[in-house]
């Protein structure tokens, strides 16, 4: 234990960087994985219905384009939202609800 304390006293920047990296990881998990889960299912279904009506068989491709756009602009919340939309499209496609 004394060796750890000596290391922290000798290099005080290391724990600061560790906390920063951990904070970024937690923020990313919240913004990409957890926060999009709070979008109501009805809203996701409305977006999916609109994509299917507008683009037909290319609906998944358009949802992917939106997800990619969110990724390029570093908007992790929107990226997570469009990921949910794509998962719903895949679910409907597997059930044979649209082609």
pLDDT digits (tens, 9 = 90+) for 70-97: 999 999 999 999 999 999 999 999 998 7
Instruction: Supply the range of the domain harboring residue 10.
Output: 2-95
Nearest Cα to 52, choosing from 62, 42, 40?
62
Count of Cβ atoms closer than 10 Å to residue 83 Cβ: 18
Q: What average pLDDT does range 20-49 have in this prediction?
A: 94
pLDDT digits (tens, 9 = 90+) for 11-28: 888 888 999 999 999 998
The number of distinct structural domains making up the chain is: 1
**In sequence order, which ranges of the chain are alpha helices (DSSP H)?**
2-10, 13-28, 41-55, 59-72, 76-95
Nearest Cα to 64, choosing from 45, 87, 44, 43?
87
């Amino acid at each position: 234990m004394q060796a750890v304390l000596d290391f922290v006293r000798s290099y005080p920047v290391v724990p600061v960087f560790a906390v920063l990296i951990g904070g970024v990881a937690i923020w990313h998990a919240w913004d990409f994985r957890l926060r999009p889960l709070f979008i109501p299912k009805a809203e996701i279904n409305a977006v999916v219905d609109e994509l299917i009506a507008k683009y037909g068989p290319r609906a998944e491709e358009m949802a992917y384009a939106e997800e990619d756009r969110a990724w390029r602009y570093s908007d992790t919340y929107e990226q997570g939202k469009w990921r949910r939309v794509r998962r719903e499209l895949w679910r409907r496609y597997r059930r044979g609800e649209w082609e």
